[in-house]
Structure 1
Amino acid sequence: MKAIQISELKTLKPIEIDEPGPPGSGQVLVKTHRMGVCGTDISCYLGKFPFFDFPRIPGHELGVEVLAVGDGVTSVAVGDRCSVEPYMNCGHCYPCRRGATNCCQNLKVIGVMMDGGLCESFLIRADKLHRSEKLNFDQLALVETLAIGCHANDRGNPRPGDHALIIGAGPIGLATLEFAKLTGAVLSVMDMNPDRLRFVTDNYGVKNTVLFSGDGSEIERMQKCTGGDMYQVIIDATGNKHSMSGALRYLAPTGTLVYVGITTEELSFTHPTMHKPEASILASRNALPPDFTRIIQLIEQGTINTDPWITHRTGFDSVVNDFESFTKPETGVIKAIIDVA
């Protein structure tokens, strides 16, 4: 069976792997139709993601079709179209017992810590599939990205009238924006790329955009956007240590800063920068099962439109040659989709 592997730093290669075989009890055999290329996939390819080891078959943003079900599986049936919840939690550790399955102490994320879906078919636990009768495979492949943003927004918990800032207008920042705009908060988005800020304005109607140029001018712009109050909620989706270390400067007194982007490098800031505003600093990791159900319903209802996201597309046979371009913001990439089947 064909698959594509990140074999070493900045190297993808086609490989042959064994057929997965029939599903066991509680398992489902699925066919991969679409894979979304995530910032995590790019970080893994570039050797920057902390939970990744070479070699690995990537693929955790997936739109799949059910081919066969094992004993005891009633939640999905052959032919169902599904999104994959890629977080393989144990169900027994302390966070799992508390319902924080996203933080399982034994967590394995497919495509990151174990082989993923950039292959013809694979086996997965039935409870990790979220079906939809209405969504196409492109839309289903984007549910996981949206789930990351949904959970990050829930962690920040912006309220109506709050000034909220999203730093980074890549896919995770946009996913966060989708849910922040439903809260009634007054939104600002900051990025270094003016094209991405134009995308946010054109597709989301966000007028308060902030271009980061590294000279401190962003603070004057933020003060204008917030009437001098600065931001009650900030969600940093960059994964950049400089951005993450500097984000406290933009926080309003008693505000909350959420890190959803991940870096392998150390963050640093002076204690008074955190202490003076009595800041709350939170992390946001993965997502929870109800997030997937909610997102599928919102896309089905038309509340969330994923169409503008997909800026690049490639086929299974072309991804080895095309993947490098997806790492370059200057190509205008927001979200690339791989047509696996």
Structure 2
Amino acid sequence: MHYIVCEKPGQFALKEKSVPVRKENEALLKIKSVGICGTDLHAYTGNQAFFTYPRILGHELCAEVLEIGANSKNIKVGDKVGVMPYLSCGSCIACTNDKSNCCSSIHVLGVHTDGGMQEQIVVPSNILLPVGNLTDDEIAIIEPLAIAAHALRRAQLRRGETIAVMGCGPIGIGILKQAQIMGAKVIAMDINEGRLQYVKNTIGCDYAINASQDPLAKIQAITNGNLCTAVFDATGAKFPLENGPEYMAHGGRFVLVGLSNGDLTYNHPKIHAKEATIMCSRNATMEDFEQVINIMGQFPTASFITHKVPYTEMITNFDRWLDPEYGTIKAVVHFNNK
């Protein structure tokens, strides 16, 4: 069978290997499609924490079950499934406190261990997701939307709040749309005018602000000087990660969803004066995945997925998806298995 491996930063290779063999409590899956994530883009450019090479990327997966044993979810051969791509130990302090998303020895498919950019893969049966009548495209984007759902749950978002989301990539868009569904007033921030127009016109954001054009003054005007009760970083870039508290109201929360590969610095008097809650949000739990499956019908999947290619053309297209001028929001790679 075919698979695509990132040999080292900037280098993919299409190779062949034997079909994997399923063990007890595992399932053999036929990969139908794989969403391309910011994690994949950063891994390709050599700027991804927790990453080693060579690695088969891919953790946003739509698959069909080829082989499976008895399981608690009653998933059967032939079913389409999503995959929660986080392999947790089940016994560490995080896992025993219902935080398997930050297990002390977590292995994420496509990051710490090989992922789904291959025609077939074996995974534990307990990370499979029944998906009902969702389409292949909807299934392929469950995972990034679950990350967004987890960030909102971490923030304990309340109806009527005014929030700011820095970064209108896939995760940021997921936060914006789901916060809107939850009844929040949403302010989107980015420096890409095309993405700002998308979140304003298609997602329906209340406000879309160019982050390079005095965003603090604009947020002050929108909020009558109160600022935002919750601010989310979905960029993973040092400058917004360090400046997010500037847009946060006194008593507010700043949620770091994006991951920077380095140190961050905050002015203690400024964050102390606001009694700021600064929290990280990592991955997602099964609860978050199930929440996304339930609201997927309200998400604009067709416009969110901007590029689709067969796996045989992934390598030649990947560099384009890194170029902001190419207009990629979400790219999906399809495996046309017989």
Structure-2 separation of matches of 1:241 and 1:196: 20
| Cα deviation, residue 157, structure 1 | 2.1
Report the equivalent of 2:20.
Answer: 20
1:6 aligned partner: 6
Q: Quote the Cα distance in structure 2 between the aligned partners of 1:198 and 1:237.
A: 17
Pair 25,194 (structure 1): closer, same or farther in 2 beyond 3 Å:
same
1:86-110 Cα deviation digits (max 9, x unpaired): 0000111111111110011110000
Any idea what the Cα deviations from partners look like across 1:18-54, whole Å, max 9, x if unmatched? Answer: 2102x22111000001000001111111111111111
CA distance in 1, matches of 2:132, 2:251: 44
- Deviation for aligned residue 1:329: 1.6
C-alpha deviations, 1:172-226, integer Å up to 9, x for none? 101111221122221101001111000001112213111011x6x1111111211
Residue 316 (structure 2) aligns with: 321
1:306 aligned residue: 301
Change (3 A) 1:74 1:279: closer
Please, what TM-score do these two structures have when normalized by structure 1? 0.96
In structure 2, the gaps of 5 or more residues are none
Q: 2:261 aligns with which of 254, 261, 264?
A: 264
Equivalent in the alignment of 1:183: 182
* Structure 2 residue 81 is the aligned partner of structure 1 residue 86: no
What is the match of residue 233 of structure 1? 230
1:287 aligns with 2:284: yes
Give the secondary structure class of the aligned counterpart of 1:337. Answer: strand
Going from structure 1 to structure 2, the CA distance change for 1:74 and 1:176 (only over 3 Å counts) comes to closer
**Distance in 2 between the 1:306 and 1:287 partners?**
20
Check conservation: 1:156, 1:235, Cα contact below 8 A.
no
Provide the residue aligned with 1:172 in structure 2.
Answer: 171
Pairs aligned (count): 336
Q: Which amino acid aligns with 2:275?
A: E
Q: Is the 8 A contact 2:33 2:335 kept in 1?
A: yes
CA shift, 1:290, in A, is: 1.4
Query: 5 Å matches for 1:133-282?
Result: 133-213=132-212, 217-282=214-279
**Separation in 2 of the partners of 1:72 and 1:24?**
13
Partner amino acid, structure 2, of 1:8: K
Amino acid at match of 1:26: N
Does the CA-based 8 Å contact 1:24-1:71 persist in structure 2?
no
**TM-score normalised per structure 2:** 0.97
Aligned positions of 1:94-113 closer than 5 A: 94-113=93-112
Maintained 8 Å contact 1:30/1:122: yes
Q: Distance in 1 between matches of 2:225 and 2:72?
A: 56
| Maintained 8 Å contact 1:158/1:232 | no
**What's the C-alpha RMSD, in Å, of the aligned pairs?**
1.2
Paired with 1:178 and 1:129, the residues of 2 have a C-alpha distance of: 25
Distance in 2 of aligned mates of 1:112 and 1:161: 37
Which residue of 2 is the match for residue 337 of structure 1?
Answer: 332
Residue 70 of structure 1: how far off its partner (Å):
3.1
| Deviation (angstroms), 1:73 | 6.6
What is the letter of the counterpart of residue 103 of structure 2?
C
Matched residue of 1:164: which SS?
A: strand
* Alpha-carbon distance between aligned partners in 2 of 1:157 and 1:39, rounded to the nearest angstrom: 25
Large movers: runs of 4+ above 4 Å: 71-74
Post-superposition CA distance 1:277-312 (Å, at most 9, x none): 11000000000001112211222xx22332210011
